Chains A and B, each alone.
Chain A
Amino acid sequence: DSGVTQTPKHLITATGQRVTLRCSPRSGDLSVYWYQQSLDQGLQFLIQYYNGEERAKGNILERFSAQQFPDLHSELNLSSLELGDSALYFCASSAGLVYNEQFFGPGTRLTVL
């Protein structure tokens, strides 16, 4: 157990819908990262927040957005869902910004029908 929690574990929805994925980082970690894992694209970095502020963006679609709240938990919002958005979404946390190890949560499996 990494100490990072994610809910829900599974999510099944229809095209065009909107969903919210939730992540709670390890106690004391200020940085939260979101990753998408699919068979064709592999593990891809989406976005990073540090202490409530957005710090880096990766391959995140405009239909996706995220935020980190004062209690440091983070939410990833996916809207206008398409079949191709079906994937495992992982959240990871680290203590700081630079070299700190990233610890992954158990992931949310999103299925878009």
Chain B
Amino acid sequence: GENVEQHPSTLSVQEGDSAVIKCTYSDSASNYFPWYKQELGKRPQLIIDIRSNVGEKKDQRIAVTLNKTAKHFSLHITETQPEDSAVYFCAAKGAGGGADGLTFGKGTHLIIQP
């Protein structure tokens, strides 16, 4: 089955700086890659996603890049703010006939230092 590795496990950046979280996946058939933000005790919230036919997608301060050849994708957050502090999860969805759950990375605890 699919395996998703996520790095780093903890990332501390100064407010206003950029943060980058990286993920690799194992199944070359995976075709959908969402990113979720989870605050303590709350539900994962979808913040951005990318499909396998696209190399990059941007939404205001958040961007995601995908390299299908290398099987890795990354989340970029620019001009970080205190409210960006949370745990971020990457995920990959296989191509199991359209029916498949998400395989998640272990998460990155992003800390924004004031």
Contact = CB atoms under 8 A, between A and B. Distances in A.
Q: Do A and B come from one complex?
A: yes
Interface of A: 2, 33, 35, 42-48, 50, 55-56, 58, 90, 96-99, 101-107
Given A43-B89, A99-B32, A104 B45 contact: yes
B31 A99 contact: yes
B107 to A, nearest CB: 7
Given A42-B105, A104-B36, 20 more contacts: A42-B106, A42-B107, A43-B44, A43-B104, A43-B107, A46-B101, A47-B101, A48-B99, A48-B101, A56-B96, A90-B43, A96-B98, A97-B99, A101-B46, A102-B34, A102-B46, A103-B46, A104-B43, A104-B46, A105-B43
Interface in B34-53: 34, 36, 42-46, 49, 51
B46 A106 contact: no
Contacts of B104: 42-44
A72 to B, nearest CB: 16
- Provide the main secondary structure of the chain A interface: strand
A104 B101 CA distance: 13
A48 B94 CA distance: 13
Contacts, number: 58
A99 B98 CA distance: 8
Interface of B: 31-32, 34, 36, 42-46, 49, 51, 89, 93, 96, 98-107
A106 B42 contact: yes
B98 A97 contact: yes
Task: Please provide the 8 A-B residue pairs with the shortest distance between their CB atoms, ordered closest to farther.
Answer: A45-B101, A55-B99, A97-B98, A43-B104, A104-B43, A98-B98, A56-B99, A104-B44
7 contacts: A35-B101, A42-B107, A43-B44, A43-B107, A48-B101, A56-B96, A104-B36
